[in-house]
Structure 1
Amino acid sequence: MRGNWSVKCLEGQGKRLVTRADTIDTITTGTEFGQWVETLLAVAEDEYKLLKELSPLTSPLLIASAYGTLLAPILKLFNTVLGQMTTLIKKSLQKYNFLALSAYDALLQQQPAWEEALSRRDEIEDKNELRDGLGTLRQICLRSFPEFLVDLKLGANDRDSETSVRLVDLTIDTVKYLGALPKVRAAAASALLALGDGNWKMGEGVQVGKSSKGGEVDEVVILEHFVHDVITNAVNSLNTISRNRRPSSFGSIFLLNNITYLRHYLFLSPSHPSLPSLFSQPTIDFLNLNWRTAKAAYFDTNFSPLMQAISDDPPKDKSGGGKVNAKEKFTRFYDLLEEVIERHRLAKVLSCDGHPTDDTAGIKEERGAVGEEIVRLVVPTLQRFVQKQKEKEFSRSE
């Protein structure tokens, strides 16, 4: 009877966790699930104390039997709520992967108290609902890691316009995923160790149970390895998309926008203070190298033609051909400059319009820094050209 009354008090909150999972942060839902399990165990503890104090039963075996009867409906409720939650997660693992990790982490923390509660039942009872639930959640977590990497690879099949330079979903998803990882660090490391170092690389010839990196790994190392593969897959997919953009000047702007977003919100302004601790030096070097390469490609495809138009000395011609040649170069320079200006009206570089986060100050600084580099790149070349031609008076309309 008291067990059923306890269920009446607990089931409303338990079912509410599942029904509102769509509307709140998934990690918060997993944390609240752990708090609900903690409340469930506290109720079981109080009931056991009352049973010992108020029951006329004196035999430990009879008390254990009575406690097992009282606990049965509470355990059934736990199984029901956990089953509903796992069903929800399996329907959309990509959406609820951190709910699985958070719930797994929460149950791990409650395991000692759970074991103590079950130890007070009849000795013949061997079923452990929390242990079974941990096994189910762990299997879901093990699936989530390789599936996320597959999603990043499939992101290379972006079907956006060839001239689009916006942030693509895989860039935003990578930042969100890695930003949330420190919040479930213990659970993620535990699951990754169970999966095996490198075994998240489905379809790449990795043998299950064989470490692809070599040597013994601990929680820190395996997280670094996994994060490195996440960033590598994301950057490789972005490079693939960039190569498919036409013309290449739009592809370079696309790549600069997306790589800069990754670098800024992972390294320079991370959403979680402990996120930088997940990056090994090779990971940092890899992303920084790709950022520098993307920036160099942007300068090359957009501004090299400008400088080439005026960089060569005009041939010396006594008949005045040098002046004509210089004028043609000057005219060509401004024609190309107008093309660059028009292109940048269509393809915004490091724009904050429609930005997925409110923290855009850093991106504005990055944009300003790129603008200053453009000035340092183009203006000196133009000044040298003008200086050489200063004795020749001509204008564009001449």
Structure 2
Amino acid sequence: MKGLRMDELSAEVEVLESKLAKTAELTNKISLSLKKLSSSAQQVESAVKPIYSKTQTLTVLSANIDETISAIDRVQQPSDAVSQEEGTIRKGPQKVGLEAYLASLQRVNEGLTMLKKSNLRSSQKSVQQMTGLLKAGSLQLEELFRETLADDSVPVEPLHYLTKELPFPTFEADKTNNLALLHEFLSSTLATASGLQSNATTIYAEVRGPYITSSLSTLALAAINTTRRNGTSSYERGSNGIGMYTNSLEGIFDSEYENIVRLFPSNVWSTVYHGTTEPAMGVFKRTIQDLNTFISRNMGTDMYLAYEIIECVQVCSARLKAKTGEQREFTEALKPIRQTAQGSFNFMLEDLKRQGQVLVVLPIDYTVADITKDTMARLQTLAGYQSSVSGLLVALGDGNWKRPYDPATTNLSTFDVGADGSLLLSHFLLEVVDQLITEIEGKAHAILKKKGTIAVFMTNNVAYIEATIRRSDLGKIMTSTALSKIEKWRKDAVKLYMEAWKECAAYLMDVTYTSKQASQGSKPLSGKEKEGVKEKFKNFNNAFEDLVQKHKSYTFEKEVRTMLAKEIGFVGPLYGRFYDKYKDSISPKHVKYDRQALDTILAQL
């Protein structure tokens, strides 16, 4: 049994050894195969590695080539824009349309920007060509801007708009949009790239300035021509064309400012407005200066024109300032005429003195003298310009009209901003009236000499002065104090006239008895007393008849005659008392008038 088991084990061992031998043989074969594979791999690696490296290099090169080609294409495209856009640009915006034209210029500008960034020498020619195209295009757009403005810049007739109360014309919406588009381009970097500075604002002023100046030219001429009048009559409000000229200037400036606001950015509004209106303002200033020269030479008749000019210009310039914020030009334009106007107040007083000095004849009927009529007419006219005159007097200062106006010596530090111009005007008017009364009273004493005729003359003149003041705007301007003073002058003149009547009435003065004495009865008149009474009646009758005759011969205005008759009426009661007292004491032949007869005569005065 054991032997059999050993045989089996030996057999298994042999089998295992046989398999092991085969495994070892297979292992050797695998080892040999691996060695061969390793050797082959090394050979492949040695062969492939250079190829891979070369491939990598070629890939980079290919990418570089593609990029270069792309760059060349990008460079080529802007260069091609010259040929592609040149035709459009050379044709001009009128033919191809503004939007298409601007788009073409935009493409050229983009190409130019790219070429400049490339900084290639080969592209310098294209850069020059594109710059030239942009410049040509910008110039054409400038010309289009000018032409578009010129289309609506035909001079207009201002009176058409003034008389119909129409606003002066402005650009239509479509035209405004086109002009704004053109200005936007001309002010953009596109125009700058061509080497041109934007001239849109200058062009606007060059085109619109002459339009405004030409439109107003006839009115400027009319303002000068209307100063020529026949005779020596004083200036009448509105007879000069300065009012229409100023209103038209305001209207056309107002409309022009609207155009500017719609076309330009706010930072250039003031510049464009000044540049555009400067030529017209220059003509306006020269016109004012010419009028000022005329006024200075004809101060006596035309100083009122200075006041009217100041009123017109101040009102219009204030309205324009509220809209545009600009007023300096108008202030400068008014400066010379304001100086002339401020000098007119002293002139008025001095001229009144000169008239008084050369006055050698008074009215033969002792009525109102021409110097009185002329002076009051002058003051009435002056009152019609209260607004400007009050402002001038405030600037001049209370009482400073007494000396010649000299702008070089005017002290602005004494300027009273809070002064009441109406009060100063009242002071000035009163001073003129005072000077007038002084002049005519002096001449009345020198020429008429007789107290009675002096009284008639002064009463007529002062009453005329007072009536003129109360019936006109002068009465509204002058203060109650001033009016009271004038009333006193009138009463003084009446008092002078009444002196002769009081002398006449003095013959009626007699002893006045007390009530106690009267109750005791009156004694019969002695012969001497009767003679005295007869003499009184005689003297009174003679004086009364003389005064009545003279009074009726004098020329008085109805109101003055009524006023004097009322004053003279005091004689009636005096005569009645005297008559009642002595009518029974003396013969009737010595008593010419009874109470009723005398009252009738007085009533007829």
Same fold (TM over 0.5): yes
Once residues 350 and 214 of structure 2 are traced to their aligned partners in structure 1, the CA distance between those partners, rounded to angstroms, is 43
The 1:162–1:334 alpha-carbon spacing in structure 2 relative to 1, beyond 3 Å, is farther
Which residue number in structure 2 is paired with residue 124 of structure 1? none
Give 2:546's match in structure 1, choosing from 336, 339, 353. Answer: 339
Distance 1:75 1:297 in 2: 59
Give per-residue Cα distances to partners, 1:140-159, cap 9 Å, x unaligned. Answer: 11111111122333454332
Distance 1:215 1:322, change over 3 A: farther
SS across alignment from 1:252: helix
The CA distance in 2 between the partners of 1:8 and 1:69, in whole Å, is 16
Distance 1:209 1:257 in 2: 42
Higher relative contact order (CA 8 A, sep 6+): 1
The 1:131–1:71 alpha-carbon spacing in structure 2 relative to 1, beyond 3 Å, is same
Query: CA shift at 1:100, angstroms?
Result: 0.8
Which residue number in structure 2 is paired with residue 379 of structure 1?
A: 572
1:195 aligns with 2:404: no
- For 2:351 and 2:370, the matched residues in 1 are separated by 10
Contact 1:37 1:110 in 2 (8 A): yes
**AA matched with 1:331:** K
Alignment length, in residue pairs? Answer: 363
Match of 1:359 in 2: none
Q: Note if 1:279 corresponds to 2:465.
A: no
1:165 and 1:347 in contact (8 A); partners too: yes
Gaps of 5+ in 2: 1-206, 512-523, 593-605
**Identical positions, percent:** 20
Q: Deviations over 1:276-318 (max 9, x none)?
A: 3432343122112222221111111x312322344357xx974
Alignment-mate amino acid for residue 298 of structure 1: Y
Does structure 1 residue 266 correspond to structure 2 residue 466?
A: no
Give the aligned partner of residue 537 of structure 2. 330
Question: How do residues 225-264 of structure 1 correspond to structure 2 at under 5 angstroms?
Answer: 225-244=427-446, 245-264=448-467
Query: Quick check: 1:71 aligned with 2:269?
Result: no
**Matches of 1:38 and 1:397 in 2, distance apart?**
77
2:360 — aligned with what?
159
Query: RMSD of aligned C-alpha atoms?
Result: 3.9
Tell me: CA distance 1:162–1:13, structure 2 relative to 1, closer, same or farther (3 Å). closer
1:197 Cα deviation from its structure 2 partner:
1.8
Equivalent residues of 2:505, 2:574 under 8 A apart: yes
Counterpart pick for 2:348 among 131, 145, 148: 148
Distance 1:344 1:15, change over 3 A: farther
Q: Distance in 1 between matches of 2:379 and 2:413?
A: 22
Read off the aligned partner of 2:541 and give its amino acid letter.
Answer: Y
Selected match of 1:369 from 549, 553, 563:
563
Relative to the length of structure 2, the TM-score reads 0.52
Is 1:221 the equivalent of 2:221? no
Question: 1:381 deviation in Å?
Answer: 2.5
Q: Is the helix fraction higher in 1 or 2?
A: 2
Residue in 2 that maps onto 1:91: 297
For 2:27, the equivalent position in structure 1 comes to: none
Deviations 1:305-340 (A, max 9, x none): 322344357xx974x454444444333333323432
Shift of 1:163: 5.8
Does residue 311 of the first structure (1) align with residue 509 of the second (2)?
Answer: yes
Q: Out of 568, 580, 588, which is 1:394 matched to?
A: 588
* Per-residue Cα deviation, 1:184-217 (whole angstroms, up to 9, x for no partner): 22211221122122111128xxx975999x9973
TM-score by length of 1: 0.75
Indicate conservation of the 8 Å contact 1:163/1:250, yes or no.
no
Q: Which has the larger radius of gyration?
A: 2
